[in-house]
Amino acid sequence: MAEKCTPIMKTSTWPPYFLAGERCTDPDKKKEGDRIIGISIGQPPDPRSIIFRNHDFYGLSIEFLSGWKNVHGIKVGLITNASNKMTGLSFSNANIAHEMTGFQPALGLNSTIDGDMWGIQIAGWSNLAAKNMYGIQFAFGNNTAFEKMSGFQIAGGWNTTPLQDMVGVQLAGAWNWSSQNMVGIQATAGFNYSKKDMKGIQLAPFVNRSKGNIYAAQIAGLNLSGHDMRGAQLGLANISNSEMAGLQIGIFLNQSRKGITGIQVGGIANLSDDEMKGIQGSFLFNCARRILGVQIAGLINYATQGMKGLQAALVNYVERGDMTGLQVGALNYARGGGMNGVQVGVVNMARGDMDWAFGLVNISGRCKSNLATPIWGGMCVFGEKEGE
C-alpha cells in the first residue's frame, strides 16, 4: 500500500510547544514508525519524548530536551538526540546520534555512539566517533575516532584514533595518537605517536614516535622510529631502531641501529650500528660498523669492521677489516686489517704495509721497532720483521 500523509498540529501552553506539518504513514512499514515533516518548536509535553519518539523527523526542530528516531534537517536544543541517524545540522550543548551525516556544532559534546560520522563536528570540549570518522572534528578539548579516521582532527588538547588507521591531518595542543597506521600529517605542541607505519609528516617540539616503519619526515626535539625509516628526521636527537634510508639531521645525536643508507649530519655524534652507505658529518664523532662512503668529523671517525671511502678528522680509526680509501687527519690508524688505501697525516699507523702513507711519523706493524720511514712510509727504518 502507498504511504498516506495527513496534516498534523499539536500545541501546548505548558510546557510551551508547537508542532505543525504532516504525518506520513506507510502500512507496510508500521514497525519502523511514521515520518513527521514540518516544524517542531518548544518542549513536547509527553515525558517519553525526552528520550526519543519512534518516528523520523524531516524539517526544523527547536526543542529544549527531546529526541527522534531519525532526524533529517535542522535540530536545535539543550541536548539533541537522534536514536539512530542524524542527517543535516544538529546544534546544542550535546549532540548524540548513533550515526551522523552533516554538521554537529556543540557547546560541550558531539557523539556518534555506534555508527560512522560523515561531515563536521565542532565542540567546546569533545568530539567522539565510536566507529569511523570521515570529515572534520574540531574541539577545544579532544577528538576521538575509535576506528578509521579519514579527514581532519583539530583539538586544543589531544586527538586519538585507538583502533584503526588515521588518514588525514591531526592538529593538537598536547598530543596526537594513532594506534594503527598513520597516513598524513600529525602536528602538535606536545608529541605525536603512530603505533604502526607512518607515511607522511610528524611535527612536534618534543617527541615524534612511530613503532612501525616511517616513509616520510619527522621534525621534533626527539624523533623515534621503531622499524625502518625511509625519509628524513630533523631534531635535537634522531633514532631509528632499524634501517635508515634518507636523511638525519640532529643538533646533538643521530643513530641508526641497523645501518644507514643516506646522510647523517650531527652536532655531536652520528652512530650507525651496522653498515653506513653514504655520508656522516659531525662536529665531534662519527661511528659505523662498516663504511662505504664518507666520514667527516671535527674530532674522531671510527669504523669497527672496515672502511671503503674517506675519513677526515683529527683522529681516524679502523679497528678491524681493511682500510680501502683515504684517511686524512692528525692521527690515522688502520689497526686490524690491510692498509689498501692512502693515509695523510701527522702520525699514520697500520698493521701491515704503508706504501701509501704520508706523514711525519709512520708506524707499521711489519717493521722492526714498528718504525717506517718518515714522510713516506713505504720502507722500514730498521728493516722488516722476520717472516713479514
Query: Is 9 among the domain residues?
Result: yes
Q: Are 220 and 205 in contact (CB under 8 A)?
A: yes
Is the residue at 354 inside a domain?
Answer: no
The reply to whether 112 falls in a domain is no
What residues make up the domain containing 88?
1-101
% the chain with pLDDT above 90: 54
- Does residue 4 fall inside a structural domain? yes
359 contacts 345 by C-beta, under 8 angstroms: yes
State the average pLDDT over residues 84-112.
88
Residue 216: pLDDT band (50, 70, 90) is confident
Classified as helix, coil or strand, 56 is strand
Q: Does residue 299 have a pLDDT over 90?
A: yes
Residue 66 lies in a domain: yes
Mean pLDDT of the chain: 89
Reported pTM: 0.83
Which amino acid appears at position 252 of this protein?
F
**Domain total in the chain:** 1
Residue 52 clears pLDDT 80, i.e. is over it: no
Answer whether residue 66 shows pLDDT above 70: no
- Scan for cell 597516513, then name that residue: 183
Phi then psi dihedrals of residue 139, to 5 deg: -150, 150
> Parallel, antiparallel, or unpaired: how do β-strands 133-139 and 117-123 relate?
parallel
41 part of a folded domain: yes
Tell me what pLDDT residue 321 has. 84
Whole-angstrom distance, CA of residue 236 vs CA of residue 239: 10
Q: In whole angstroms, what is the distance from residue 231 CA to residue 225 CA? A: 11
Is the pLDDT score of 49 beyond 80?
no
What confidence score (pLDDT) does residue 59 get?
A: 93
pLDDT at 167: 92
Residue type, 246: G
- Residue 56 falls inside a structural domain: yes
* Cis peptide upstream of residue 15 (ω within 30 degrees of 0): yes
* Residue pair 279/261 in contact by the 8 Å Cβ criterion: no
pLDDT in tens, 119-164: 999 999 999 888 888 999 999 999 998 888 899 999 999 999 887 8
Question: Would you say residue 94 lies in a domain?
Answer: yes
Give yes or no for residue 212 having a pLDDT over 60.
yes
The three cell numbers locating residue 258: 641497523
pLDDT of 122 reads 94
φ, ψ of residue 228 to 5 degrees: the values are -65, 145
- Give the pLDDT mean for 271-287: 95
Q: Which residues pair with 302 in a beta bridge?
A: 287, 317
Residue-level pLDDT at 112: 87
